């Protein structure tokens, strides 16, 4: 190995470590190096090998791994899965199916033995291939980070070492390994890079692989910082409610944070085309975009909504005076008799004419609802909400005090002429609403 080069077992001290053992030089070197550090670091080791049933000699690989673990004193676990059949069933590529099945099984073994982490044998050359593949697909900063030394329950202690250093490590110890003949066939992007692309580039840039590894590490540091800034912005600005999720856009956040926030809310399935379309939606005045799986985005007056579906209508609840009426998952309205004196500067509290409230109910909006706002003529509730610039996703979530189709109070927004206190009012009721979600975007 290079002078000073070594596996990085930082963070594995005292842990129960499951080694993903394929039998190739990389994973054999990982197992050997972990065994050599086991006592000093207080680790407990296990090894797991999945036979993918892709190659005729795959059973020999499993036998080799079993013998190696017996020699190294590591408890060994193995299984066989017909990955080609699984890929045919799901429509995935063979490599994708193999990776998914392998990781699922490794986590099953991890739970079975009570391991803390799964150690993978990815090295610096793998990292360079990964970064170049992501660049070729047009990945952003998060993609060019490549593989992380620690990612959840996955640990990659060999990212600082070259493939040739791992081979030299095994030769120095007189240890054998298994060769996968498919690695010498350039029928996948990774194999093509390994066999042709990187060797050609190294003719002009001999330190290409270490340079790419340094680039990935620099990108990781900056990406992680952007992730923290995004976390802070979301913690302060993100709103959730029965409508879904809401991101305020006044003021517009920096584009790098906005892009990450959108990805966070949409999930890993969001592709670049939809991301660009969502950014354009943020820049526009109004609009709606279907994303995938029933998820849609809608631009409101001040922000962007992420909607799963229209909220189911609540049943109407009689207004109890005195008492409390609640709409499940939406709000609670408390009512009590009160002096005939209006409440000012508190949109969540109103004192209304008691006679006007007789037989009133609490519910959400319905087609045909009407309201006569203070000082105005009667109009459709939908027109009133449009005039008040209430975003469409919020309209189905606002509680109403109503009698039939006549709305007396759009809770938190405004009252009707027929419910206000007048000189003829003899009895009054104080209503106070508490929403179960933040409606500050109304104001």
The answer to the question of residue 3 being in a domain is no
Question: Where does the pLDDT of residue 3 fall: very low under 50, low under 70, confident under 90, or very high at 90 and above?
Answer: low
The answer to the question of residue 228 being in a domain is no
| Proportion of the chain above pLDDT 70, given as a percent | 98
Pair (258, 172) in one structural domain: no
The answer to the question of residue 20 being in a domain is yes
Pair (266, 328) in one structural domain: no
The answer to the question of residue 65 being in a domain is yes
Which of 281, 307, 333 delimits the end of a domain?
307
Which of 277, 307, 337 delimits the end of a domain?
307
Q: What is the mean pLDDT of the chain?
A: 94
Which of 287, 307, 327 delimits the end of a domain?
307
pLDDT of residue 95: 86
* Owning domain of residue 341: 317-442
The answer to the question of residue 232 being in a domain is no
Pair (259, 361) in one structural domain: no
> Could you read off the pLDDT of 20-46 as tens digits, one per residue?
999 999 999 999 999 999 999 999 999
The answer to the question of residue 130 being in a domain is yes
- Residue 4 in this model has a pLDDT that exceeds 60: no
> Could you read off the pLDDT of 296-318 as tens digits, one per residue?
999 999 999 999 866 666 689 99
> Could you read off the pLDDT of 273-303 as tens digits, one per residue?
999 999 999 998 889 999 988 899 999 999 9
Domain total of the chain: 3
> Could you read off the pLDDT of 396-437 as tens digits, one per residue?
999 999 999 999 999 999 999 999 999 999 999 999 999 999
The answer to the question of residue 11 being in a domain is no
pLDDT of residue 226: 96
CA-wise closest residue to 306 among 229, 210, 239: 239
> Could you read off the pLDDT of 182-211 as tens digits, one per residue?
888 888 889 999 999 999 999 999 999 999
Pair (329, 301) in one structural domain: no
Determine the length of the chain.
443
The answer to the question of residue 303 being in a domain is yes
Pair (182, 274) in one structural domain: no
Q: Is the pTM of this model over 0.75?
A: yes
């Amino acid at each position: 190995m290079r002078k000073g080069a070594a596996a990085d077992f930082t963070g594995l001290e005292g842990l129960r470590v499951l080694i993903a053992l394929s039998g190739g030089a990389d994973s054999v070197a990982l197992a050997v190096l972990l065994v050599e550090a086991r006592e000093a670091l207080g680790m407990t080791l296990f090894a797991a090998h999945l036979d993918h049933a892709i190659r005729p000699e795959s059973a020999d690989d499993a036998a080799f791994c079993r013998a190696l673990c017996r020699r190294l004193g590591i408890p060994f676990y193995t299984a066989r899965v017909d990955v080609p059949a699984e890929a045919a069933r799901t429509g995935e590529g063979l490599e994708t199916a193999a990776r998914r099945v392998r990781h699922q099984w490794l986590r099953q073994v991890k739970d079975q033995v009570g391991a803390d982490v799964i150690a993978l044998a990815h090295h610096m050359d793998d990292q360079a291939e990964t970064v170049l593949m992501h660049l070729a697909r047009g990945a952003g900063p998060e993609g060019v980070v490549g593989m992380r030394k620690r990612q959840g329950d996955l640990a990659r202690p060999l990212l600082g070492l070259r493939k040739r250093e791992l081979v030299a490590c095994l030769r120095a110890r007189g240890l054998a390994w298994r060769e996968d003949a498919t690695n010498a066939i350039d029928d996948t992007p990774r194999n093509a890079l390994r066999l042709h692309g990187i060797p050609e580039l190294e003719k002009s840039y001999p330190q290409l692989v270490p340079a790419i590894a340094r680039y990935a590490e620099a990108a990781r540091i900056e990406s992680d910082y952007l992730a923290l800034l995004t976390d802070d912005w979301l913690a302060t600005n993100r709103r959730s409610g029965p409508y879904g999720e809401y991101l305020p856009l006044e003021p517009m956040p920096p584009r790098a944070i906005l892009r990450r926030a959108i990805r966070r809310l949409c999930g890993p399935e969001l592709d670049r085309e939809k991301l660009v379309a969502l950014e354009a939606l943020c820049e526009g005045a109004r609009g709606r975009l279907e994303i995938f799986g029933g998820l849609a985005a809608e631009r409101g007056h001040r922000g962007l909504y992420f909607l799963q579906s229209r909220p189911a209508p609540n049943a109407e609840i009689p207004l109890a005076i005195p008492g409390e009426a609640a709409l499940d998952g939406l709000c609670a309205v408390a009512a009590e008799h009160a002096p005939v004196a209006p409440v000012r500067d508190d949109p969540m509290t109103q004192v209304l004419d008691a006679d006007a409230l007789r037989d009133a109910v609490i519910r959400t909006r319905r087609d045909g609802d009407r309201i006569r706002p203070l000082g105005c003529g009667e109009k459709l509730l939908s027109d009133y909400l449009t005039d008040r610039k209430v975003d469409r996703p919020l309209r189905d979530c606002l509680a109403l005090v109503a009698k039939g189709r006549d709305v007396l109070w759009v809770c938190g927004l405004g009252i009707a002429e027929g419910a206000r206190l007048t000189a003829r009012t003899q009895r009054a009721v104080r209503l106070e609403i508490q929403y179960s979600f933040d409606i500050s975007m109304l104001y």
